Amino acid sequence: MSDCRSDIVVIGAGIAGLVAAHECLERGKSVTLVDRHDETNVGGLARTAFGGMALIDTPVQRRMGVKDSPALALADWHSFADFPDDDAWPKSWANAYVEQSAERVYHWLRDKGLRFMPAVNWVERGNFVPGNSVPRYHILWGTGLGLVKRFVELLAVHPNADNLRYVFGCRVSDLIEEGDRISGCRGEIEGTGEQVEFFGEQTVVATGGINGNLQKVRDNWYWGNPPVDILNGSHPFCDGYMHDVVKGKGGIVTHLENMWNYAAGIPHPFPQFDGHGLSLIPCKSALWLDHSGKRIGPEPLITGFDTNDMCGRLSAMEKPWSWQILNWRIAAREFAISGAEHNPHIRDSRTFSFLRETLLGNHRLVRQMQEESDHFIVADTLAELVQQMNALDGDDFVKLNNVERVVREFDDNVRRGPGQWNDDQLRRIQHARAWRSDRLRTCKPKPLLDHGPLIAMKLRLITRKSLGGIQTDLQSRVLGADGQPIPGLYAIGEAAGFGGGGASGRRSLEGTFLSGCILTARAAADAIGQV
């Protein structure tokens, strides 16, 4: 295998690449799908994704009484995005997303045999600026892994499956130029060292973002000084290499400083690569403390409102870690871990098991983390808890008197009752519990010390997704410095900043990633089908 010819070359077999390959087969095209990983890991970052999607004006929303519209979603999007005035293509993609998400993602996926949970959640409500005005977060039964498996299956049984060729274990090193157009790519089969070339009339870059490359993350950090200690919650092959290659061919790469990182990471108990982190979903009812045990403020940190702001505030702290203090009651109700790995009941569509853990508490996961992670500490008293926290730090950073003061002040506030709550975290918890889907996953406030055992989680910032990338038009064609498409070259998914080189702007409404991969991939296939 020294070279291969097909109509289309797709670089990257994540969900964007899989959808693009499927849609090109639908249009009668032959496709070579090239990926650096092996066949068992097809799907890239989507394999480990939770599977939540921000979708607008869907039947699920309407059944729950949510009145949504593309106009409302676009207003929310612009509020959160903080677009520069001249950011034409990201704005165009934002508009396309809100107009198309229902038909070209929700209904399209259902037509492919996929299903969503019968309730929508309300995330990224906004903190200092408005976020999602209404609940839009749709969770896919089967998680991101189920999405990947379904498209692998659809490709395998497609009537034109003979026109699809997979090439695994290949690290693409360059794009091939012939005249004024891109006509494929070259690379190396890493297991053998064989040099290969793949030729096509159109080439699609679907290689993910930069957030698997911690040096590139630090180089593009915009919250001030980059953290000296940050975990990798992305994919090690999302290294930004193809961004540099595209830039070298005249393509525009923009907004790499815009990232979607998370505030609550721990080292993965079973790491698969250097710096591998596990992204926790922080508990709303937990107290968030700095390295010394003081409550972070004056505005308390609470998840579900503005993830970008949380990351910015935590990155500016004296030490590159923080603590959450909670109890077993809160953890059983609210604690979760992002992704498919630790959500087996959703991943495997076990409705009864999922409902049981939702209603009775996920004690299984709490016990699992107690056993697997030294960053998840359980103790009967605050004194014992602080002792173990300091043992993990290897120093006496955490002061018992600080923690006691914070916890007792909070508990005293809770005991006064809702009419006298004078704490913004309690007010936000009250707000979250007003929406029935979130009420199931948010505890009614009770004093922490009255419901032991106590739990402390040591948290670090963790990377996840790139909101910037290769600039494209609404046909997913890569744009050059003159604003014109580079002939034969497309970029989709995270590689394209989920559209236009930065469709989300500074912040995402959350859930625009898998769906953004689908929309940009389908746009590319539509354009290719007309060539």
**Average pLDDT value over all residues in the chain:** 95
Identify each DSSP E strand in 268-399 by its residue range. 277-281, 287-289, 322-327, 336-337, 376-379
Which CATH number does the domain 262-462 belong to among 3.40.50.2020, 3.90.700.10, 3.40.1160.10, 1.10.3210.10? Answer: 3.90.700.10
Query: How far is 41 from 166, CA to CA, in rounded Å?
Result: 13
* pLDDT, position 262: 95
Give the mean model confidence (pLDDT) for residues 209-220. 96
> Which is higher by pLDDT, 211 or 346?
211
pLDDT at 47 over 60: yes
* pLDDT, position 346: 87
Strands 322-327 and 454-466: antiparallel
Give the mean model confidence (pLDDT) for residues 185-195. 96
Give the mean model confidence (pLDDT) for residues 127-135. 94
Tokens of 62: 């309407």
* pLDDT, position 220: 96
* pLDDT, position 3: 63
* pLDDT, position 354: 83
Query: How far is 409 from 367, CA to CA, in rounded Å?
Result: 28
Query: How far is 372 from 386, CA to CA, in rounded Å?
Result: 20
* pLDDT, position 283: 96
| Phi, psi for residue 332 in degrees, rounded to 5 | -65, -35
Radius of gyration of the chain (CA): 23
* 50-54, 76-80, 341-345, 376-380: range with lowest mean pLDDT: 341-345
pLDDT at 224 over 90: no
pLDDT at 2 over 70: no
Place of tokens 């203090």: 325
Tokens of 339: 């992704």
What pTM, to 2 d.p., does this model score?
Answer: 0.96
* CATH 3.30.9.10 is held by the domain 3-216+241-258+467-529: no
Q: What is the pLDDT of residues 432-446, one digit of tens each?
A: 999 999 999 999 999
Distances (CA, A) of 32 to 14, 190, 199, 358, 413: 14, 18, 9, 43, 62
Confidence band of 183 (pLDDT split at 50, 70, 90): very high
Tokens of 372: 């697997």
Query: How far is 74 from 42, CA to CA, in rounded Å?
Result: 33
Domain ranges within the chain, ordered by starting residue = 3-216+241-258+467-529, 262-462
Give the mean model confidence (pLDDT) for residues 282-297. 96
* pLDDT, position 1: 54
Burial, 420: exposed, middle or buried (Cβ in 10 Å; 0-12, 13-18, 19+)? exposed
* pLDDT, position 381: 97
Confidence band of 355 (pLDDT split at 50, 70, 90): confident
Tokens of 335: 């604690």
**Count of C-beta atoms within a 10 Å radius of residue 181:** 14
Give the mean model confidence (pLDDT) for residues 275-298. 96
